[in-house]
Amino acid sequence: MPKKKILYPLIKETTYYPSDNEYYKSQGLAGKPDKVKNSLMMYDGYVDQNVNYVENRVFNETLTYTGYGRGRSSAVFYFKDSTGATYQMFMTDMDALLSSKDLIDGKVTGTWKYCKRGKNFGIKLAY
């Protein structure tokens, strides 16, 4: 039996916080990007028309570390690429990254691919 093909959820088009919303204005978010095109969603399950499901791919990019946080069931590190798209990296993959690459001024250049752990999605070094 062939292995099930995994599709990865990416944001199809950039969406913005409403500029007329008082809450978003008070938070300084009004009119700023909410979801950026080609960002990898942390997990699937949203009923969202703004999601494009793609097969795994390998891509070269310089990523900027933006912070860390918790997923639904995992601790993740957040990165942003040159277009503003965002990605999550699992602890295991971050450990492999730090063992093989230099993080200089919060940036790391590499060849990346998507990965899945449980129901969560992230990226990791491809090579």
**pLDDT number for residue 44:** 76
Q: Where along the chain do its domains lie?
A: 8-125
Contact 124, 113 (CB under 8 A): yes
**pLDDT number for residue 118:** 87
**pLDDT number for residue 17:** 95
| Tens-level pLDDT at each residue, the chain (127 residues) | 677 889 999 999 999 999 999 999 999 999 999 999 999 998 876 667 899 999 999 999 999 999 999 867 778 999 999 999 999 999 999 999 999 999 999 999 999 999 999 889 999 999 8
**pLDDT number for residue 79:** 98
Give the full edge-to-edge strand order of the sheet including 120-125. Answer: 86-90, 75-80, 58-70, 107-117, 120-125
Contact 125, 93 (CB under 8 A): yes
**pLDDT number for residue 1:** 67
